[in-house]
């Protein structure tokens, strides 16, 4: 493929490609079947793989929680971390599912843009709704229901299978009965309703219904991540690590609080601004296609110059489509990854904080995790082993556990 071919004016389609006439409720600014007979929107299709990549990156980032990232012990298995030993209590299953759902969004987007059919559009939009709702409930649990404290010894055997994915946490009412939090039931109903409406409706009404239902969840997620950022800027932000103050010196504790504030600020600001930029590009590409697809570009006709020997170099002016929707796929993936890491960090930090406060109060469920049959003679992680955000290469955030250097 030469430079001249990339910038050459795209011909009007004389027919349709492999998948036939588009039946989706929206057709994006990229012209159909101009690159390949088999792919309706070439750039939009392959840029969708960005979501698959960042979903895999999110799952990989969970591996940074275990084994411990810092320890002086040569045998890392000799350290017993009660929460990492039972990751369902931290909601790791739910976080893993969020990243898996993002991958499904990517593959659904590949199917949608590759064929532009109504059924493939559902494969794109339904996973988007579920991904947003899973992410939102993770944020809500981190803010309001961080850890199931009052639990019997059978709890670890009960939080398995579907419960570990759909229920943020299990608690008992005044009568001692288990119940599903209203928040889980409400969002599950919202997801099912949205899924049905998206698949049953056609045309402009389908497009409007999806964006109203999905957009409402999206805005709620933005509000919650903003509340995390806002609270980190308040004078009382040090309460996030107050449970481990007696394990750290004054300077170390102050450094933890400062690091917490800076990491939350970076995660929030980068995530939101990249996400908002993606939305602006998405909206511009959708509503002003006639303008953005006719951007003038002037380039040297190198092919003609070389073919004509030592002839004069001519400049050619044409129009080009910057493929805004493809850029949306890349930027929204990066933005969501940062906000997802922020939700993970807040969730894990809340879990550690509530666990050690529960130990101090002698809560049955927390003490159960520290029993001898669980520790088995291993060194037990303490309050000084706290969740932090690490930046790989200064740009890729992951959540890890900062281990105390003393054994």
The full DSSP string for 54-122 is: HHHHHHHHGGGGSS-SS-S-S-GGGEE-TTTTSGGGGTHHHHHHHHHHHHHHHHHHHHHHHH--HHHHH
- Per-residue pLDDT at 201 exceeds 80: no
Mean pLDDT of 362-371: 79
Mean pLDDT of 255-275: 93
- Per-residue pLDDT at 267 exceeds 60: yes
The Cα 231–Cα 268 span in angstroms is 12
- Per-residue pLDDT at 34 exceeds 90: no
Q: Is 338 annotated as a binding residue?
A: no
Confidence label for 181 from pLDDT (cuts 50, 70 and 90): low
More reliable by pLDDT, 140 or 66: 140
**Domain 24-288+320-402: assigned CATH number:** 1.20.1070
Confidence label for 402 from pLDDT (cuts 50, 70 and 90): confident
Using a CB cutoff of 8 Å and minimum separation of 24, what contacts does 311-318 make?
316/4, 316/7, 318/7, 318/8, 318/9
- Per-residue pLDDT at 122 exceeds 80: yes
Mean pLDDT of 67-74: 43
* 376 secondary structure, DSSP code: T
Cis previous bond, 67, omega within 30:
yes
According to the model, what pLDDT value does residue 61 have?
93
- Per-residue pLDDT at 86 exceeds 90: no
Lowest mean per-residue pLDDT among 61-70, 179-188, 366-375: 179-188
Residues 6+ apart with CB under 8 A from 136: 187, 217, 220, 221, 224
Confidence label for 91 from pLDDT (cuts 50, 70 and 90): confident
- Per-residue pLDDT at 310 exceeds 70: no
Q: Is 135 annotated as a binding residue?
A: no
According to the model, what pLDDT value does residue 164 have?
44
Q: Are 142 and 168 in contact (CB under 8 A)?
A: no
Q: Is 329 annotated as a binding residue?
A: yes
Q: Is 113 annotated as a binding residue?
A: yes
pTM of this structure: 0.82
Residues 6+ apart with CB under 8 A from 55: 99, 100, 101, 102, 103, 105, 106
Q: Is 260 annotated as a binding residue?
A: no
Q: Is 118 annotated as a binding residue?
A: no
């Amino acid at each position: 493929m030469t430079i001249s071919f990339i910038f050459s004016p795209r011909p009007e389609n004389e027919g349709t490609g492999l998948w036939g006439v588009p039946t989706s409720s929206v057709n994006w600014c990229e012209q159909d079947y101009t690159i390949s007979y088999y792919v309706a929107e070439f750039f939009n299709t392959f840029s969708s793989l960005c979501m698959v990549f960042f979903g895999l990156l999110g799952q990989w980032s969970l591996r940074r929680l275990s084994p411990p990232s810092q320890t002086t012990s040569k045998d890392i298995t000799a350290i017993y971390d009660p929460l990492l030993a039972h990751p369902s209590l931290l909601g790791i299953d739910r976080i893993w599912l969020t990243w898996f759902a993002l991958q499904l969004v990517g593959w659904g987007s590949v199917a949608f843009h590759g064929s532009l059919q109504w059924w493939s559009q559902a494969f794109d939009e339904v996973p988007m709704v579920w991904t947003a709702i899973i992410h939102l409930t993770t944020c809500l649990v981190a803010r309001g229901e961080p850890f199931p404290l009052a639990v019997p010894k059978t709890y670890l055997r009960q939080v398995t299978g579907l419960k570990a994915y759909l229920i943020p946490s299990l608690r008992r009412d005044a009568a001692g009965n288990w119940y599903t939090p209203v928040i889980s039931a409400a969002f599950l109903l919202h997801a099912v309703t949205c899924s049905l409406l998206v698949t049953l409706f056609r045309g402009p009404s389908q497009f409007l219904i999806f964006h109203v239902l999905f957009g409402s969840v999206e805005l709620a997620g933005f509000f919650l991540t903003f509340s995390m950022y806002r609270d980190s800027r308040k004078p009382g932000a040090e309460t996030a690590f107050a449970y481990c103050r007696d394990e750290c010196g004054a300077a170390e504790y102050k450094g933890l609080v400062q690091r917490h504030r800076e990491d939350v600020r970076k995660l929030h600001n980068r995530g939101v601004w990249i996400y908002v930029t993606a939305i602006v590009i998405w909206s511009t590409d959708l509503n002003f296609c006639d303008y953005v697809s006719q951007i003038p570009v002037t380039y040297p006709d190198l092919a003609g110059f070389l073919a004509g020997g030592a002839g004069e170099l001519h400049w050619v002016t044409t129009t080009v489509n910057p493929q805004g929707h493809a850029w949306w796929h890349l930027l929204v993936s990066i933005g969501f990854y940062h906000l997802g890491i922020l939700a993970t960090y807040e969730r894990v930090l809340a879990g550690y904080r509530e666990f050690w406060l529960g130990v101090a109060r002698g809560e049955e469920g927390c003490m159960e995790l520290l029993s001898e049959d669980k520790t088995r003679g291993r060194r037990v992680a303490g309050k000084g082993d706290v969740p932090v955000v690490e930046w790989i290469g200064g740009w890729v955030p992951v959540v890890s556990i900062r281990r105390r250097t003393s054994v």
